[in-house]
Structure 1
Amino acid sequence: MREEVRYKASRKASYLGLMGNILLTFLKGFIGYIAGSAALMADAVHSASDFIGTLIVIKGVKIAHLPPDQSHPYGHHKAESIVSKIIAIILMITAVFIGYEAFQILLADEIGIPGVSAIVVALISIGIKEGLYQYTIRVGRKYRNAALIADAWHQRSDAISSIAALIGITGAVLGFPFMDPLAGIVVAMLILKTAISIYIDAIHDLMDSAPPPEVLNNITEAAKTDEGVLAVSEVKVRRYGSMLLVDMKINVSPHISVEQGHAISARTKQNILSHNEEVKDVLIHVNPHYE
């Protein structure tokens, strides 16, 4: 049931972002062209990359929630980390494209002054993008969805780039035309910084990095709650997309039967699963305990 709720919430956030990105791509592209604003046109390209990224997120979230099969016995949760990596690469390409175009305009002999309408669209973009970021990041963090969190930062980077575009357009309108393409270069740098951060986080997830120490302690303490567990050792926890996989050893009395040891192991597993919703599976090795 939790997986179904998680999937529906993630899908809703993705589709909301998709609609917002479609609207802003066309609005910024059209007004940027009419008003002659390099910064707003660059921002439109960024929104277009958001649109492509959100489409990938929607597909990735769908794959991540597929049930385990013969080829993927642990499920498909790592699809979310893979999607995060793809989004980061899209952002990097977008940043290079925007930066190059803005730099070419900056080197031109004459730089056009954009119309005031570009300022209005930039303000609208900031409001919509910040709203999308706040909603998407809330859902992503609540359900530990790496792809959705990456998409949220994608939305936030677009809001920041719109602020940079607004400053550049306003400066150009006030008589400093070089500020418009200069803002486009700043936008590119901001996008690149966000892309690198998302890429590094995705790599950590794909490398099965351990969760924070407090999560490890919580799992260890949950394992000790059964009175049959005399000691807990070699607790290893790794991320599997949005979920956690746990391996550990527990010590039990050497005088009990195999069946009793198995029962203690089963109860310990259930205790861990009930204490942490992120844990997908627990593998427990039972050892005899000697003083």
Structure 2
Amino acid sequence: MDSGLVADGVHARTDGFTSLAVVAGGIGVLLGFPLADPIVGLLISAMIAVLLIGTIRSVGRRLMDGIEPELVDRAEHALGHLAEVASVERVRLRWVGHRLHGDAVIRAGAMSLAEADRVAAEAEASVKKHLPNVDEMAVRVTASTTR
């Protein structure tokens, strides 16, 4: 995900919440509660700090090529539930903008090269079905022996 877009979205959301809080504080003061304004100011400050921490974590993870563990788990599940797959040896994913690119190595039983190609295509389709953000998924099939 583009970090500039993430930051801009958080900024817009913060502006919206701030505007609502200012209106609430103004209404509180008009209704005779003079502490409404400073309380709203403190709440806005706390909200901005929480959003800042979340944004730093999200953008920082993406900048360091980090990926959410649940996405890797979903990809492993998508590969592992195919009948021909004996085990999932490796799955790697990375964000490229708003899309995911990845590769995987799966182990299957003895099969011909044509069968291995078919299994790799099915595995790629399965990952794309379980993770709609995946644009590219290269799957390599290793087998004990080929026919």
TM over 0.5: yes
RMSD, aligned α-carbons:
3.4
Which whole-Å CA distance do the structure 2 matches of 1:269 and 1:237 have between them?
13
- Mapped contact 1:161–1:190 kept (Cα < 8 A): no
Change in 2 beyond 3 A, CA 1:222/1:191: closer
Q: How many residues align?
A: 144
- Mapped contact 1:245–1:280 kept (Cα < 8 A): yes
- Mapped contact 2:26–2:36 kept (Cα < 8 A): no
Give the counterpart letter for 1:282 in structure 2: M
Question: How big is each residue's C-alpha offset from its partner over 1:48-88, in whole Å with a ceiling of 9 and x where there is no partner?
Answer: xxxxxxxxxxxxxxxxxxxxxxxxxxxxxx33x32223x3x
Question: How big is each residue's C-alpha offset from its partner over 1:187-214, in whole Å with a ceiling of 9 and x where there is no partner?
Answer: 662453133432332222333322243x
Which whole-Å CA distance do the structure 1 matches of 2:33 and 2:127 have between them?
64
Which whole-Å CA distance do the structure 2 matches of 1:164 and 1:196 have between them?
25
- Mapped contact 1:252–1:289 kept (Cα < 8 A): yes
> Following TM superposition, by how much is the alpha carbon of 1:249 offset from its aligned partner in structure 2, in angstroms?
0.8
Which whole-Å CA distance do the structure 1 matches of 2:21 and 2:65 have between them?
33
- Mapped contact 2:14–2:48 kept (Cα < 8 A): no
Q: Does 1:245 align with 2:101?
A: yes
Question: What SS does the aligned partner of 1:269 have?
Answer: helix
1:161 to 21, 42, 65: 21
Q: Which protein is richer in helix relative to its size?
A: 1
2:65 to 208, 216, 219: 208
Aligned to 2:140: 285
Question: How big is each residue's C-alpha offset from its partner over 1:230-273, in whole Å with a ceiling of 9 and x where there is no partner?
Answer: 221222233344433332111133x4333332221111101211
- Mapped contact 2:111–2:143 kept (Cα < 8 A): no
Change in 2 beyond 3 A, CA 1:186/1:160: farther
2:4 to 65, 72, 82: 82
TM-score, normalised to structure 1, is: 0.40
> What are structure 1's unaligned runs of at least 5 residues?
1-77, 88-146
Aligned to 1:100: none
> What are structure 2's unaligned runs of at least 5 residues?
none
Identity %: 17
- Mapped contact 1:223–1:271 kept (Cα < 8 A): yes
Q: Does 1:170 align with 2:29?
A: yes
Change in 2 beyond 3 A, CA 1:166/1:212: farther
Change in 2 beyond 3 A, CA 1:161/1:199: farther
Which whole-Å CA distance do the structure 1 matches of 2:115 and 2:136 have between them?
21
- Mapped contact 2:25–2:36 kept (Cα < 8 A): no
Q: Which protein is richer in strand relative to its size?
A: 2
- Mapped contact 1:219–1:272 kept (Cα < 8 A): yes
Which whole-Å CA distance do the structure 2 matches of 1:252 and 1:216 have between them?
20
Q: Does 1:256 align with 2:104?
A: no
Aligned to 1:107: none
Within 5 Å, give how 1:61-210 maps onto structure 2: 78-79=1-2, 81-85=3-7, 87=8, 147=9, 150=10, 153-154=13-14, 156-159=16-19, 161-162=21-22, 165-166=25-26, 170=29, 174=32, 176=34, 180=37, 182=38, 185-186=41-42, 189-190=45-46, 192-193=48-49, 194-210=51-67
Q: Does 1:219 align with 2:141?
A: no
Which whole-Å CA distance do the structure 1 matches of 2:98 and 2:83 have between them?
31
